A and B are shown apart, each in its own frame.
Chain A
């Protein structure tokens, strides 16, 4: 269905090719998962499939890419619209119309299908993706998961034989991600659509893939194999695979269900250790006694007519890492925003280091609390890394060079002259963190920090957060990433509809929750294990 023959892609002005001598053949009806670090050429590979590379992006493509027998050399993207459907990373940026039903019809109108065919296909697609209730809704009023499903539906109506998706679940909460993946699963199984999917969150998708393509980057050859083959040797893997490797299970489990069936003996071995481990694992926290660093008390925050927080009460001490979880729109971002004074509670209070956050401005603010927003780039304004760091020092009133020192400790080797936009996601997050930490705030807030991060960058982030907490900072992060929360959080707060529905040690809150439990905990439940590292340490100690 998709065939790459000796494909080499070089962008204009780039010294080395992004992809070199790629040979890949994807037969009909396969779901292929594309993995690789940020900047490895994953997106380039995906965009080659419908000819966006090089017709739209420029650059030189040597070799040949054919899709359903059509050569992308002679077919620009619009001539491939009826065989390849491309779902962009941010669905909102690709919407052309403003109503769900019109959006579904747009692609068919462009390729000139007959009205009765269009009518039938819109209805079929509404049913297929469970969108029938939303048909008259404006696109802007949809939730993240609904938008993603509409974006998939919008390309499906032209009946493409190939579907290409770039990180379809990275911005979604676990529930919405399930919705989207279930829809994809149905397309592959029932309609025989060939799917090419890039995703960092392996733990969510690897079990659905027929084959995995690893794009190592730097022009290295691709690694292609079944998920089990690739995962057996991959340097990074989802927790369930790592647990399987640790326990020596064969075949290597890819889903929680497979692992759970193999985990009986391991659970027995761990049974006597479980109690100690739960205590010990979290004893490394350095909670500093005294006044809590962050207190939100009975806060009500409204955005227009929408109540984002309705009487939420949360407190956090220095030395704690608190993960705030909950579905999209539960009020997580608003909670963080109220702690830096972006939202003023209409009743109740939000205080940082004993001072109401809503009145804080300028240096008073940055010396008490720092927030890294969902899009770290928002914080970055300069054209060069060096200028960015220098201005951060000035804003904070810190000695010149102090933020550079912080950056080097977070992510060494970022050159002074690079434009912040050219950094990888992980490096950009590190730069934004360095900027925020320049004023040495005792409270650090992060909104969805792992969005777009690959496993390696995530590992570094985990280490960084632990170090910051050990230094006596209070870290609060809003996240969908259950594995991250399991990894670092000393306490988990679950929000729903602007209210706190659970607040307690990570082990108590996430174990047994179908939505927020990490994979290890799902495999080993009811024992309170959260991460592979904990299990490994306990086994080594016994």
Chain B
């Protein structure tokens, strides 16, 4: 008990939680959402995720993406509802309003434009939209709690270089947005239209040129700083690791195919998949031996990590178990429309997933930067030039 207390006491010291723990937690919640259409349970998941984000989000640019994910979720719900209204499904009997119907030619049979809009189909659309929005909220939460770059640091050495390329590509998107803004400004300064299609076409080339120039600069900088340095590796070892990777990939493909295809004898799929995964893992580990990279302050996997990841996995497990034993509890009833009941067991598990908001350590810098930074008058020039 005292060791538990000690470990939790240590969590009061600000540090980065292992990024994989946050992702396991968020994906656990996402699994809950994917198993249900019960709006109360979905709402609870979003609320829990939001509360944890509010308490443990670092003060960093990537953490500001959470709001974007939430807004995207609202857009998804709106689109889902709009589609239902326009296309309809003819399901349900409580007609709310009847839209003028548009007859479609014979080849489009099965699709109808307009017609009656029922309460049941609207409700179903809202529930399904909520599922998608909640999934986005879970991914957004993981994204803002754990920086993509820190997640990258935990990938195996052999995949590291590929990972860097991905992260660099991700940081390019916001810079591209900045570039578009700059080019539009320049067009306006020259007295040209800065909105509309023509303006967009006119700004493509300068933006791409800028992006390319930056890419070359970054490549030169990374090269100068030792990116891609490798240790010696024997030809035999290189061939072995390459061969294992190839075999592993083939095994995984064949295994997945066998698993999905009902015509294949059942006993063969799982062994095939397992062998493939094993071969690929050994291949990755072997080729990782060539990399001489070391890790600066790797995030430890301690008690807070176990708790954070555990609550997420537990919520997912409860949801899966309940969906197998009592599927009705997880379905938001639409026909006839009824006020949903909160299923107690899954709800308790989801509530437990709010625990990270208390036990996870604060991200570093949250205390100090709130107080002292950003230093007055020393803002980044971009912010002001923007």
Interface residues of A (CB under 8 A from B): 50, 52, 55-56, 76-82, 84-86, 88, 90, 93-99, 101-102, 105-115, 118-119, 122, 133-138, 140-144, 146, 154-155, 158, 171, 303-304, 306, 308, 327-334, 337, 340-342, 361-363, 365-366, 370-371, 373-375, 378-379, 381, 392, 395-396, 421, 435-436, 439, 496-497
Residues B225 and A96 in contact, CB atoms below 8 Å apart:
yes
Separation of A337 and B297 alpha carbons in the complex (Å): 44
Residues A141 and B61 in contact, CB atoms below 8 Å apart:
yes
Q: B90 contacts the other chain (Cβ, under 8 Å)?
A: no
Q: A93-B217, A143-B379, A334-B384 are in contact. Are A86 and B186 (CB under 8 A)?
A: no
A95 proximity list for chain B (CB < 8 A) = 221
In whole Å, how far is A247's beta carbon from the nearest beta carbon of chain B? Answer: 38
Residues B62 and A98 in contact, CB atoms below 8 Å apart:
yes
Q: B190 contacts the other chain (Cβ, under 8 Å)?
A: yes
With CB as the reference atom, state the residue of chain A lying closest to B381: A328
Residues A96 and B222 in contact, CB atoms below 8 Å apart:
yes
Residues B381 and A96 in contact, CB atoms below 8 Å apart:
no
Residues B378 and A329 in contact, CB atoms below 8 Å apart:
yes
CB < 8 Å neighbour of B225 from A106, A112, A133:
A106
Q: B386 contacts the other chain (Cβ, under 8 Å)?
A: yes
Residues B296 and A363 in contact, CB atoms below 8 Å apart:
no
Residues B384 and A79 in contact, CB atoms below 8 Å apart:
no
Residues A122 and B147 in contact, CB atoms below 8 Å apart:
no
Q: B228 contacts the other chain (Cβ, under 8 Å)?
A: yes
Residues B164 and A115 in contact, CB atoms below 8 Å apart:
no
Residues A107 and B223 in contact, CB atoms below 8 Å apart:
no
CB < 8 Å neighbour of B217 from A81, A90, A115:
A90
CB < 8 Å neighbour of B229 from A112, A362, A366:
A112
CB < 8 Å neighbour of B223 from A78, A102, A327, A497:
A78
CB < 8 Å neighbour of B191 from A122, A303, A362, A381:
A362
Separation of A102 and B295 alpha carbons in the complex (Å): 10
Residues A52 and B224 in contact, CB atoms below 8 Å apart:
yes
Residues A136 and B218 in contact, CB atoms below 8 Å apart:
no
Q: Which of B91-99, B255-263, B368-376 contacts A (4 or more CB under 8 A)?
A: B368-376
Residues B380 and A105 in contact, CB atoms below 8 Å apart:
no
B193 proximity list for chain A (CB < 8 A) = 362
Total of A-B residue pairs, C-beta within 8 Å: 216
Residues B223 and A141 in contact, CB atoms below 8 Å apart:
no
With CB as the reference atom, state the residue of chain A lying closest to B192: A395
A371 proximity list for chain B (CB < 8 A) = 189
With CB as the reference atom, state the residue of chain A lying closest to B148: A98
B182 proximity list for chain A (CB < 8 A) = 373, 375, 378
Residues B218 and A158 in contact, CB atoms below 8 Å apart:
no
A303 proximity list for chain B (CB < 8 A) = 383-384, 386
- For A155, A342, A378, the residue with the greatest tally of chain B CB atoms inside 10 Å of its CB is A378
- Listed from nearest, the 7 A-B pairs whose CB atoms lie closest are A136-B365, A94-B221, A81-B226, A110-B226, A105-B296, A112-B292, A366-B191
Q: B250 contacts the other chain (Cβ, under 8 Å)?
A: no
In whole Å, how far is A283's beta carbon from the nearest beta carbon of chain B? Answer: 34
B205 proximity list for chain A (CB < 8 A) = 381
A158 proximity list for chain B (CB < 8 A) = 225-226
A133 proximity list for chain B (CB < 8 A) = 368, 372-373
Q: A98-B147, A110-B293 are in contact. Are A439 and B224 (CB under 8 A)?
A: no
Q: B148-186 CB contact bits vs A (8 Å, 1 = yes)? A: 010000000000000010001001000000000011011
Q: Which of B199-250 contact A (CB under 8 A)?
A: 202, 205-206, 209, 214, 217-229, 231
Residues A365 and B188 in contact, CB atoms below 8 Å apart:
yes
Known A133-B368, A138-B59, A373-B186; 14 more pairs at CB < 8 Å:
A98-B147, A98-B171, A108-B294, A109-B293, A109-B294, A110-B225, A115-B296, A158-B226, A328-B379, A332-B384, A333-B385, A361-B191, A363-B191, A378-B185
